[in-house]
Amino acid sequence: MILHSPSPRKYKYHTYGGARIKYDHRMHTSYVFVHIPKCASCWMKAVLGRSWHWNYFTNSSDDSLPEGIQEKLLDSKKVYISVLRDPIDRWVSGIVQCRIREQTDTTWTDIFDRVVFDNHTEPQVSFLNTLDTDNLVWFYCDTKLEHNVQQWIVQNDIKVMQLPDTHKDEENSFNFSFKKNSVTQSIYRDAEQQIQYSTKFKQKLIDFYRDDYDLINTVNFYGT
């Protein structure tokens, strides 16, 4: 199924079509990770290791690629990868980061009326526009993510990727947001309580992210 999900919103720091590309000389295969903010994107980039910026709309990179690599990337087999996350969990994580950054006194009612504040709260489908859902390796962002990614790497004999050591580098942990300071944790609890105790607020998010829910309920996730 080809996704038709363009967004009316633009962001300075996350271009639509943005991805990371990792080239495997041995297999003449390029792994294209289509990263979605707040969907374990930093952790997955660490899994890829050294990679290049890539735009799947234009099939080009803004990086200074080594001589001959552009041609190899274009000619190689492409394996597209992406991670999806529960829309409400992702929204909470994104709105907490937004509140900390902006430090405003905006009421929760105003926040739920607006819903989207930046790319971290933009619907996940917006970052997947024009992709064929049948041609992606899908992972779900939950407690099994690390295990599933590791199994996929082993099963497909991918030598150019490995899981980061999260015990040595907590920044590479996909649930790092939950390990931050007490102020962050307090805002997390407040946001979650707003959703838990207000049927109206929760339904507003469910309705707004309907396309994300539909996508999650449609694709086949690796490991399930």
Q: By percentage, how much of the chain surpasses pLDDT 70?
A: 92
pLDDT at 179: 54
pTM of the model: 0.92
Does some domain include residue 6?
Answer: no
Q: Are strands 29-33 and 77-84 parallel, antiparallel or unpaired?
A: parallel
**What range does the domain containing 69 cover?**
18-216
Q: Does residue 183 form part of some domain?
A: yes
Across 6-15, 139-148, 175-184, least confident range:
175-184
What confidence score (pLDDT) does residue 149 get?
98
Burial of 207 (0-12, 13-18, 19+ CB in 10 A): exposed
- Give residue 19's identity as a one-letter amino acid code: A
Residue 12 lies in a domain: no
13 belongs to a structural domain: no
Q: What is the pLDDT of residue 175?
A: 54
Q: Nearest to residue 30, comparing CAs of 39, 20, 15, 17?
A: 20
Sign of CA dihedral 174, 44, 101, 96: negative
Any domain includes 10: no
Confidence band, pLDDT 50/70/90 cuts, at residue 89: very high
Answer whether residue 138 is part of any domain.
yes
Q: Specify if 11 maps to a domain.
A: no
Q: Quote the number of domains for the chain.
A: 1
Q: What is the pLDDT of residue 124?
A: 98
Q: Minimal CA–CA distance to 93: which of 147, 41, 128?
A: 41
Report the chain's mean pLDDT, rounded to a whole number.
92
What is the per-residue pLDDT across 62-75, written as a single tens digit (0 to 9) for each?
999 999 999 999 99
Q: Are 52 and 63 in contact (CB under 8 A)?
A: yes
Widest CA span in the chain: 57
Q: Which stretch of 22-26, 69-73, 80-84, 187-191 has the lowest confidence by average pLDDT?
A: 187-191
Q: Does residue 4 sit within a domain?
A: no
Q: Which residue has the higher pLDDT, 167 or 124?
A: 124
